[in-house]
Amino acid sequence: MLILTLAVGTAFAGVITSILVDGDSTPPYVSASNTITIEVYTTSDGDVKVGSVVTFIYGSTEPEIKVPGVTASKPSSTKCVVDNYPLKPGVNSITITAKVDGVSETKKLTVTFPNAPTEGATFSVGDITTQTKVTAFSGNIILDLGKGNYLVNFGSLAGDQSLVIRVDDLDLPKSYSPSGFVCISPVYEIDSNGNTLGAPAKLTVKYTGIGAEPDRITVFRSDNYDFSNSTDINLGGLVNKTARTVTIPLEGTVDGYYAVFISVVGAQNYTDLPADGWYYHPVSALFAKGVMKPANSSPGNNPWGYLGVGGSDTFGLSSSLNICRGEFAYIIVKALGLPLIDVSTSTFPDVDSGLSGEYEDAIETAARNGLIAGLPNGNFGWDATLTREQAAAIIARATRLTLVTDEQAVDAVLQTAFADGADKDVSDGTGISIWARPSVLACYKAGYIGGVPSAGGSVEFQGGASLTRAQAASLIHKMMQKMKLL
């Protein structure tokens, strides 16, 4: 028996006549992707073993494949092909052994995988059910799948449990960026062949902005390479300023293009958002994160039916513009990062007839998560204004605050904190309703909401008064900060 160990080259004189890596026969081999195609040519039919992954057995029509996601074929008696052979980061040494007519030959194949986010690089996962965390391109993108995740196709377990992460661009043109944003990461594509995730996951992407403020940084997902379309989704994200990463929740849809953007124009371009205003920072942050949209007269920017809003140069922040119940429900769902429930018919008849798309879905999502409730007539009242005490109740539910059930204890604190704390009739705007008092107390103690200065220097809560859009932005921003959602 003859055993040879030789460097790989274009052709050989022994049992193995040649080896190709991704169609190339000339080493050194460096792959931008974590999988390669290996072709092994022999003098005649025989046994061929490629690493610890595939074994071609003489006389057998099907090779033995030991790693999920790898495919192999034998187009002819002298050619063996292995697709999606997996590589580890760094230098990979692959042993290829062939035995033909009793003669064996072994060759060592060396392939380097730098695992760098170079343009066109790919990172393949053969079977996500065997993975808990996919770390690609030296940690520049991480898909945290959790335990036991899987891919679904039309409600059933997908036959193909693989996915691929690709680096599509390192320098996205400005014309392809969302208006008011600049890309500060590579553009990555995740492709699971149209399948969806069976369980929640998290995606973490590294960005390049060294001094960027977390409130201005967000992740967008697009159906194609162009992020300037109105259909692209601003996913927000939790920023780790030290690691320079953004983490977003993923549930359901995973396919798409992802990139990190920083708001460079954003809300500061609006005439009703002065840079020295008390609500400038909260509104700018919620705008950048995709939580709050302008409510002006531009097409699509006023689904809530606000009257008296300005043109495209306004955000909708006048002191007389009170937020409606529907928009507040939409905002809190976006702030919490809850996946939208796609519904054909809303629980609330007025929502079903008055709103559509993501706005209808967001209200339904808020309802099914126990954040909101309807009115006695069965409607939600999506276009009615939201009162301050209603907002406190929603925030208390969203943040899972502990409510004091002792009525006397609640009354004692509220009467001390607010000049109208003893008043339980809110028909004139002041006071706090009996049902809302525990929630108002919990939000006050947690620092989410305070009082309103009134005549004579006192502070009232004014539970029956309407909440303005600016006040709503400040309230939601505080909630996101305390819950570490920014």
Query: d(Cα 292, Cα 301) in Å, to the nearest integer?
Result: 11
* pLDDT (mean) for 158-179: 92
Q: Which pair of structure tokens corresponds to residue 43?
A: 């003098």
**Residue 243's pLDDT band (boundaries 50, 70, 90)?**
very high
Q: How many Å is the Cα radius of gyration of the chain? A: 30
pLDDT digits over 57-113, tens only?
998 889 999 998 899 999 999 999 999 999 999 999 999 999 999 999 999 999 999
Q: DSSP states of 225-245 as a string?
A: S-TTSTT-EEEE-EEETTTTE
- In 66-102 the beta strands, taken as DSSP E runs, fall at 71-76, 79-86, 90-100
pLDDT tops 90 at residue 230? no
Query: d(Cα 277, Cα 274) in Å, to the nearest integer?
Result: 5
Q: CB–CB of 205/219 below 8 Å?
A: yes
Q: CB–CB of 81/22 below 8 Å?
A: no
pLDDT tops 80 at residue 2? no
pLDDT digits over 181-203, tens only?
999 999 999 999 999 999 999 99
Q: Which of 94, 86, 110, 112 is nearest to 48 (CA)?
A: 94
Query: d(Cα 113, Cα 95) in Å, to the nearest integer?
Result: 17
* pLDDT (mean) for 285-312: 92
State the amino acid at position 107 in one-letter form: K
Q: CB–CB of 268/215 below 8 Å?
A: no
Q: What is the pLDDT of residue 180?
A: 84
Q: What is the pLDDT of residue 267?
A: 56
Sign of CA pseudo-dihedral 306, 312, 317, 318: negative
Query: d(Cα 432, Cα 417) in Å, to the nearest integer?
Result: 12
Question: What mean pLDDT, rounded, does the chain reach?
Answer: 92
Query: d(Cα 360, Cα 351) in Å, to the nearest integer?
Result: 6
Q: Which of 5, 41, 45, 6 is nearest to 23 (CA)?
A: 41
Strand partners, 54: 50, 65
Q: Which pair of structure tokens corresponds to residue 395?
A: 């925030």
Q: What is the pLDDT of residue 8?
A: 44
Q: Is 376 exposed, middle or buried (0-12, 13-18, 19+ CB in 10 A)?
A: exposed
Strand partners, 36: 85
| 82 phi, psi to nearest 5 deg | -120, 120
Query: d(Cα 16, Cα 275) in Å, to the nearest integer?
Result: 72
Q: CB–CB of 159/108 below 8 Å?
A: no
Q: Answer whether 0.75 is exceeded by the pTM.
A: yes
pLDDT digits over 332-383, tens only?
999 998 888 888 889 999 999 999 999 999 999 999 999 999 999 999 999 9
